[in-house]
Amino acid sequence: MRALKTGFLLLALTLLLVLGGEELGGQNGMILGLAVAACTNMVAYFFSDKIALKSSHAQPVTPQQVPRLYAVMERLCGKSNLPMPKLYVIPEAAPNAFATGRNPKHASVAVTQGLLELMNDDELEGVIAHELSHVRNYDILITSIAATVAGAITLLAHMAQWGFMFAGYGGGGGRRDRGNALSMLLMMILAPIAALFLQLGLSRQREYAADAAGVRLAGHPYGLISALKKLGAYNQRIPMNVPPATSSLFIVTPLSARNIMSGLFSTHPPLADRIAVLERMTVVPH
């Protein structure tokens, strides 16, 4: 079901790009917007892991420095038949973690110092299983595709704004011209908003999917449930010094003075909803 929802959201974004390109810039405008957005996101796709790790001040670690983390990672990688990712520790007190990398062979997992100190073994396993599920499900690839299409839609809208200002729409033309101008104006305003919400919907679906896959990998939901409760409590009190673009990668949205996000525009589903879904997995049917 989640795979169908992911496919639907990607299809909706693509259709929005086609319709928006046709309305705002014709076929040439659509091709230009897609090409520019694709180039931008290709750079981000190949270098986003380095950018995320550097901006979060993540430091590479050895098995001797964090033996418990390496033991959990090796065990879960063996169960999921995944190559061992590069491991990093972020010098932050708030517990959190994220995975990055364009595919399993180029994956990195970063955890905060607070996570290592506050999580017991089952909770740490639940968090790492969630992050490995992002790697195994190619979530970086999926979200990059979505970002490419959404970026093209936004670019077309900006192009249309300039065209609208200088093309003389609505300047005494006939009813058909006024209708075309109104249609373009609505598309300029609504297309980027629709693209944003479709992108957020896709991101939230991938979080639910990573939770479920992480539970299957760990073998039980209890560690992840307990970890999410701790993560929610501590990240409401302890701020993290991370940029907004990187905060969307973490397992829960970190508290940051530069990134106070409302639930409406959050890349993550509400934490209470995620926990409720996991708790339903613990109910044994009679």
Residue 131 annotated to the active site: yes
As beta bridge partners, residue 109 has 87, 99
Q: Going by C-beta distance under 8 Å and a sequence separation of 6 or more, which residues neighbour residue 242?
A: 55, 56, 250, 254, 256, 259
Alpha-carbon gap, residue 9 to 96, rounded angstroms: 28
Q: 123, 125, 131, 207: which one is catalytic?
A: 131
Dihedral pair phi/psi, residue 86, rounded to 5°? -75, 140
- Going by C-alpha positions, the residue among 275, 273, 228, 272 that lies closest to residue 252 is 228
3-state SS of the chain: helix, strand, coil percent to 5? 70, 5, 25
Tokens 């919400």 locate to 197
Cα–Cα dist 253/235, whole Å: 8
Amino acid at residue number 135? V
* Active site (catalytic) residues: 131
